[in-house]
Amino acid sequence: MNRTTTIAAALTFALLSMPGTASAKDRTEVVRFKAGASSATVSGRVKGYDVARYVLDASAGQMVHILFNPNHGACYFNFSRPGADSADFIGEVSGNELSIRLRQSGKHRAEVYLMRSAARRGETCKYSISFEITGKVADGSAGSSGSPADMMAACRIRAHEILRTKLGNIETKYEGQRTDGTHAVNGMAMINGIDETFQCSFNASGHKIVHFIVNH
């Protein structure tokens, strides 16, 4: 065997021996909601270079909310729009919570993975990931389709944007329609260990938040 052949063989062996995504156990799962539900939670685990891919079929204008709870500090998720070559949301940079209004319809992807250093060591991450889709946005801000459930979800998003706290720290309750036709949604958010209460007022159709008040 000449020197050139020996070097080529050594390089081939080195490439085959390197850990990488080609040898990972990637899997894809379509996120499905139960009848009448707008959210779903999935549990799973990834090890080493595994990638767990979740497909979410949603329409332009809808709001998507994702909450990721891993048991490993180097475990994240990315989110990509249909046909995108790169992620629109990178968990390693932006954290474990995403709220986004979709710009296009189709199959969006959330991918769970371990950082390369942890993947190289063959470490394992167990996690749960929650998906929520709310109705179309009419005014470019948090909105709803007009149902009580969507008004509650839209109010949570508005509180999340204004109060700068995690969606998991916010609870809302639909209180009903007032005599003037507007709808009331009350809520509570935990901020630095203190409960803050707030109220969203929706227009008569329930599609738009017209007032957001924090009670002091």
- Indicate whether 108 belongs to any domain: yes
Q: pLDDT tens digits for the chain (216 residues)?
A: 554 444 343 333 333 333 333 345 789 999 998 887 888 999 999 999 999 999 999 888 888 889 999 999 999 999 999 988 888 889 998 889 888 888 888 999 999 999 999 999 999 999 999 999 887 543 444 455 678 888 888 888 888 878 888 878 899 999 999 999 999 999 999 988 899 999 999 999 888 888 999 987
The answer to the question of residue 99 being in a domain is yes
Give me the torsion for CA of 118, 122, 126, 132, rounded to 10°: 60
157 and 129 part of one domain: no
Overall number of domains in the chain:
2
Give the other-Cβ count within 10 Å of 40's Cβ: 16
User: Does residue 52 form part of some domain?
Assistant: yes
User: Do both 160 and 130 map to the same domain?
Assistant: no
- Could you tell me if residue 63 is inside a domain? yes
Is the Cβ–Cβ distance between 107 and 82 less than 8 Å?
A: yes
Whether residue 108 is found in the same domain as residue 157? no
Same domain assignment for residues 44 and 124: yes
State which residues form the domain around 81. Answer: 21-134
